[in-house]
Structure 1
Amino acid sequence: MNNNLLRNAPLKDQALEILRDLIMRGQITPEQKLTEQGVMDMLNIGRMPARDALMKLEEQGLVVTKPDARYVVKLGAQDIRQLFDIRKALELLAIEGAAQHCTEADCARLHGILREMDIAVSEGDVTTYIQTDLNIHQTIWDISRNPHLIKMLRSMTGPIYMFISSHTTIQHNWDEVMDLHSTLVQAVCDHDHDSAIEAINVHMSNSLEWSLKIFDKE
């Protein structure tokens, strides 16, 4: 993301999106201090929007306050298990809504992202794969037409994707990844409730297993 702040949104919201993007890409790590002054200098903004952005990041679970400063949260294995328990419950609600409400236009959006994911996988572009994975899920959340659910999912999945983005050297079974997302998208497009539920259950279980393998490597 370009760090030049745009003029069509409040500074605090622009600062939040820039910092969130840097964290999700692993460009701000758990070892780095995040101070109001540091954010002010980085983004060339005032103290209030910097403070508001940091507070919002803390609300979203991406940042934690320590006595000397704020830091990007560092997740342990138990954190990952708990976050996936919550995410799975919310994703199931979202997939049910999406399978009910999906339109032809929604389906076209999903297949477009799926093609982008396929290209990323074929090129071994893990960073783009992670972004397309998030895009597919966010699109499914949007299709659920449940704004309260969408807000909860957007706020709690940030730490998970931050964790995944910072551990991109762990290998995936890419054929399985593509097959699973293709099955998930097609089930939503076909309004196939049972297949969509099965696909998201398998996807969440595989994602948790993959995430926990990271701790075996450390």
Structure 2
Amino acid sequence: PDAITRVGHTLSDKAEAVIRTQIVSGERLPGSRLNEVEIAAELDVSRGPVREAMQRLARDGLVRIESHRGAFVRSLDAGEVRALFEVRASLECQAAALAAERAGADEVTTLRALLANSRGVVEGDVVPHYPERLDLHELIVRCSRNVALTRYLQLVNQELKLVRARSGFLAARAPQALDEHERVVEAIAVRDPDAAAAAMTIHMESALHSTLGLLHDTPENDR
């Protein structure tokens, strides 16, 4: 990555942002070591801001710090992934049901536009992948008009990003996920909370299966 610019937020804030992005994007894989000296050199900062950034990321569940061994990108095991998905599924299904009741006509139009754009991207690729910046889930949650639900879902998704970063790039998963999203959005559009929740349940089950399939493709924790 480029050296961070010394303007605006503190160096610790910027180091945290860079490392966080590398982790959730899959650039730094679960179990990989985070070398404080190397990262400081890459970002052209001292080790202090990097150390503070690591501690913050550890509090957020993205980094594991071990005494006398250093920092590692946290690895989730299958049990942890299932537990997080149980919470995520409950929140996402509730959000979809509430969105069916509360979404405005303009928001439904936006959801459909996102789907149409993504359909073009997925079907136009030689190796289909789900558009990385599609915020359909975020928009559905926003349509729920429930601030608490939004906050807790963000916390759960933060940890799941440790293994979900690459799930959208599985060739078989991209068109399947798009079809599942389409069913959720159409249920929201016709104002059917039960159908929206049911469609989201199916989507969450498929997403869990896909995410669990990624676990074997992560490095060992160097133990």
Q: TM exceeds 0.5? A: yes
Q: Name 1:144's counterpart in structure 2.
A: 144
Moved more, 140-149 or 52-61: 52-61
SS in 1 for 2:131: helix
Alpha-carbon contact 1:3-1:18 (below 8 Å) kept: no
Taking only the aligned residue pairs, the percentage that are identical comes to 24
SS at match of 1:65: strand
CA contact (8 A) 1:63 1:70 kept: yes
Q: Could you state the TM-score of these two structures normalised by the residue count of structure 2? A: 0.78
Aligned to 2:186: 186
CA contact (8 A) 2:96 2:184 kept: no
Deviates more, 1:44-53 or 1:82-91: 44-53
Maintained 8 Å contact 2:24/2:165 = yes
Contact 2:75–2:162 (8 Å) recurs in 1? no
> Quick one: which amino acid aligns to residue 194 of structure 1?
D
Match of 1:32 in 2: 32
Select between 198-207 and 45-54 the one with higher mean Cα deviation.
45-54
Larger Rg: 2
Q: 8 Å contact 1:170–1:214 — kept in the other structure? A: no
Residue 58 in 1 paired to residue 44 in 2? no
For the aligned residues, what is the CA RMSD? 3.1
Partners of 1:205 and 1:83 in 2: how far apart?
A: 12
Cα distance, 1:171–1:48 mapped onto 2, change above 3 Å: same
Q: Name the SS for the 1:129 alignment partner.
A: coil
Cα distance in 2, alignment partners of residues 143 and 12 from structure 1: 34
3-state secondary structure, aligned to 2:64: strand
Q: Distance in 1 between matches of 2:83 and 2:113?
A: 32
| Partner residue, 2:103 | 102
- Check whether the contact 1:61–1:155 (CA below 8 A) recurs between aligned residues: no
Instruction: Report the AA paired with residue 99 of structure 1.
Output: A
Is the Cα–Cα contact under 8 Å of residues 99 and 192 in structure 1 kept in the other structure? Answer: yes
- Pairing 1:1-218 to 2, within 5 Å after superposition: 4=4, 12-34=12-34, 36-45=36-45, 49-67=49-67, 68-122=69-123, 123=125, 124-126=127-129, 128-132=130-134, 135-166=135-166, 170-214=170-214
> Aligned residue pairs: how many?
215
Q: 2 CA distance for matches of 1:43 and 1:25?
A: 18
SS in 2 for 1:28: coil
Equivalent in the alignment of 2:221: none
Unaligned runs of 5+ in 1: none
The AA in structure 2 aligned to 1:92 is C
Distance 2:47 2:212 in 1: 38
- 1:199 CA drift (Å): 0.8
* Distance in 1 separating the partners of 2:36 and 2:158: 21
- What per-residue deviation string (whole Å, max 9, x for no partner) do you get for residues 44-80 of structure 1? 4566654453333223322112222221111221121
SS in 2 for 1:157: helix
Please say if residues 2 and 42 of structure 2, whose CA atoms lie closer than 8 Å, have aligned partners that are also in contact.
no
Report how far residue 42 of structure 1 moved.
Answer: 3.3
**What secondary structure is seen at the aligned counterpart in 1 of 2:72?**
strand
Task: Output the CA distance in 2 between the equivalents of 1:170 and 1:49.
Answer: 36
CA distance in 2, matches of 1:216, 1:18: 26
Q: Provide closer, same or farther for how the CA distance between residues 65 and 9 of structure 1 changes in structure 2, counting only shifts above 3 A.
A: same
Q: 1:36 to 1:200 in 2, by over 3 A?
A: same
Kept in 2: contact 1:83–1:160 (CA 8 A): yes
Q: Report the TM-score when normalising by structure 1.
A: 0.79
